[in-house]
Amino acid sequence: MMKEEKERLDELFDRLYPLTRSITGPGLRESLDILKEVIPLDVEHVSSGTEIFDWTIPEEWRVYDAYLVGPNGKKYADIDETNLHVINYSKPVDKRLSLEELKHHIYTDPESPDAIPYVTSYYDRKWGFCLSKNTFDSLPEGEYHAYIDSKFIDGKLSYGHCKLEGKSDDEVLISSYICHPSLANNELSGPLVLCALYNRIKRWSNRHFTYRFVLAPETIGSLAYLHNYSDELTEHLVSGAVLTCLGGYKKRVNYQKSRMGDSLLDRVVLNEKKFGDIELEVRQFTPINGSDERQFCSPGFNLPVGQFAKTVYGEYDGYHNSKDDKEFMTIEALIDSADHIETILKRLKYALCYKNTKPYGEPFLSKYNLYSSVNAPDTRNDSTDYIQNDKRVFLNKALRVLNYCDGEREMVDIAEKYGYSIKDLDSIIDTLVEKKLLKKIGI
């Protein structure tokens, strides 16, 4: 199964990587089509010129060819080699010009001199090429031929989404972005882990929450999605997370809390960090950088959406440049991320509000085979079904859960207060629910 998942992700990566994605256009649509083979995305479109809050959907960018030829006939940039060579949303050009003139149209990343940077100019019409700093420094004097065959048309922005229904119509959002061409960690890691999570959660028995999966171009795409679905999200969303930068060499998962800072998922992750066994780093929400959580968490929406990442901006030198490839990202790292995130998502239903159904005095536990009927030093708590090795530990947890589940506190807060991880409590909760001593509130 894991083998199969790994192969599927590897194949998906190789097909998606070379496509010339942008925030609109054919590369984006082709990418969504490929992903539809794996998860049943419903793809929707928003036309150029549509006003989306303070923004306007731009014209669609189409690029057919792009290269830069030097005085010596050498191709210094060529879209066929890598689509990073041309500025995303570059306007067309067919011009011969001196090195001096050309330099105003060349972008490099001085901090990563052997890498080709990824540069965009969505909202201001420019043309330009991206070169490694080393190549740039080696450009000879003479006449260059700059050629970009691109055009802007009234087109559309596309995004895809789908749901896995649960017992409750309370929703958990899993969202990622799809708009960067030829970047691995800071693009494909998100959609690929999203695919893995979809296929895992689909197999969960007794799924409590409904899971909503969204793939859209970053920023403008999530704004377009919010434009169409913010009412649904506001009504149903219990928690959610944006997936970004989930590959790389880091072992632990990095979670950024939602703007509100105390969503169910925020608290479950914090509980896991303090008392569980998944290694986690937890950050506060910031509007300064990051991904689509900046839109979900803008003050008008203030949705309970966090962010899962692994190796983020500042932790690797391939950010937004050609070093961000599969060798750096690795499929194994993605599976590791999917494992951790799936485990955390499984905790969510045990973090909800439960109510003791026998709240007046202690329940008569012997009746439920949860307590020994003989109270003696050497047989205490014997002869019960559910209390095996760690008898007293089970009983103590059950007594705490029963006492504190007064229908006012969520389990994650009870766990937090008394130093339990959700994992410490999940089987007790299942047992007490099965014996009808505990009842989930609101279902």
| Rg for the chain, CA atoms, rounded | 26
Q: Three-class SS of residue 295? A: helix
Q: Interface with a second copy by CB under 8 A: which residues?
A: 52-56, 87, 107-112, 117, 119-124, 126, 130, 219, 223, 226, 230, 259, 286-288, 294-295, 297-302, 320-321, 356, 358-364, 366-367, 373-379, 396, 399-400, 402-407
Given a contact cutoff of 8 angstroms between Cβ atoms, the answer to whether 234 and 303 are in contact is yes
Burial class of 206 by CB neighbour count within 10 A (0 to 12, 13 to 18, 19+): exposed
Q: How far is the CB of 91 from a second copy (least distance, A)?
A: 13
Q: Side-chain half-sphere of 210: how many Cα atoms within 13 Å?
A: 15
User: b vs e for 2-16, b when ≥16 Cβ sit within 10 Å of the residue's Cβ?
Assistant: eeebeebbeebbeeb
Distance CA 360, CA 353 (A): 18
| CB nearer a second copy, residue 130 or residue 197 | 130
- Shortest Cβ 108–a second copy spacing (Å): 7
- The minimum distance between CB 167 and a second copy, in angstroms, equals 25
Nearer to a second copy, 253 or 297 (CB): 297
163 token code pair:
């749901």
Instruction: Return the structure tokens found at 52.
Output: 């989306």
Give the nearest distance from C-beta 375 to a second copy in angstroms: 5
- In the three-class reduction of DSSP (H, G, I as helix; E, B as strand; rest coil), residue 224 is classed as helix
CB of 7 or CB of 228, closer to a second copy = 228
Min dist CB 94 to a second copy, Å, is 21
| Closest approach of a second copy to the CB of residue 294, in Å | 6
Nearer to a second copy, 162 or 260 (CB): 260
3-class state of residue 121 by DSSP: coil
Type of residue found at 199: N
Q: Three-state DSSP class for 336? A: helix
